[in-house]
């Protein structure tokens, strides 16, 4: 992805986050027709709270999030943070939940990947130029 496109995308992310935060998560619940989940985690290196808003596909009542990093050949920082500290808070459909982020693989990953690409064909375009696997995490509610 050209850097100018990435700059526009980053601006859109910041505006979306500002709208989400100002409305208490009531506005901006969908992007490109896909639902959005808010995940609050501890940064792997910083040790500080980190918030991401990311589109997800429903996987049996749990959000599954895809680490495309907008087509960059490096993983998003949040993927490293979830691996280091998988117990996080997430808000989707207007409710906060304590969840465990579980990286999925094998046939399960391929099934979720197919659903993600069906929901957002842009994911397949991101994957075309990558030399790394795209991580997918299921946010499984803790009981």
Is residue 24 in some structural domain? no
Q: Is residue 120 part of a domain?
A: yes
Q: Alpha helix locations (H) across 45-143?
A: 77-84, 106-119, 122-128
Q: Which domain holds residue 82?
A: 29-141
Percent of the chain predicted with pLDDT > 70: 97
Inside any domain, residue 16: no
Residue 4 lies in a domain: no
pLDDT in tens, 124-138: 999 998 999 999 999
Report pLDDT for 4. Answer: 63
Tens digit of pLDDT for each residue in 66-88?
999 988 999 999 999 999 999 99
Mean pLDDT is highest, among 9-23, 24-38, 47-61, for 47-61
Number of domains forming the structure of the chain = 1
Structural domain includes residue 15: no
Task: Calculate mean pLDDT across residues 2-12.
Answer: 74
Model confidence band, residue 31 (pLDDT cutoffs 50, 70, 90): confident
Q: Read off the pTM.
A: 0.89
Q: What CATH number does the domain containing 109 carry?
A: 2.30.110.10
Residues 13, 31: Cα–Cα separation, whole Å: 11
Q: Number of helices (H) and strands (E), helices first, in the chain? A: 4, 7
**Band of the pLDDT at 48, cuts 50, 70, 90?**
very high
Measured from the Cβ of residue 127, the count of other Cβ atoms closer than 10 Å reads: 16
């Amino acid at each position: 992805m050209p850097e100018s496109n990435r700059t526009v995308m980053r601006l859109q992310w910041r505006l979306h986050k500002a709208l989400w935060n100002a409305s208490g998560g009531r506005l901006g619940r969908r992007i490109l027709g896909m639902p959005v989940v808010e995940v609050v985690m501890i940064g792997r290196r910083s040790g500080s709270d980190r918030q991401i808003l990311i589109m997800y596909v429903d996987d049996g009542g749990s959000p599954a999030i895809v680490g495309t990093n907008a087509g960059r050949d490096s993983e998003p920082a949040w993927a490293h943070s979830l691996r280091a500290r998988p117990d996080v808070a997430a808000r989707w459909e207007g409710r906060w939940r304590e969840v465990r982020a579980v990286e999925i693989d094998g046939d399960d990953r391929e099934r979720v990947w197919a659903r993600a690409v069906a929901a957002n064909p842009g994911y397949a375009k991101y994957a075309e130029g990558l030399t790394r696997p795209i991580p997918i995490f299921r946010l499984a509610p803790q009981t």
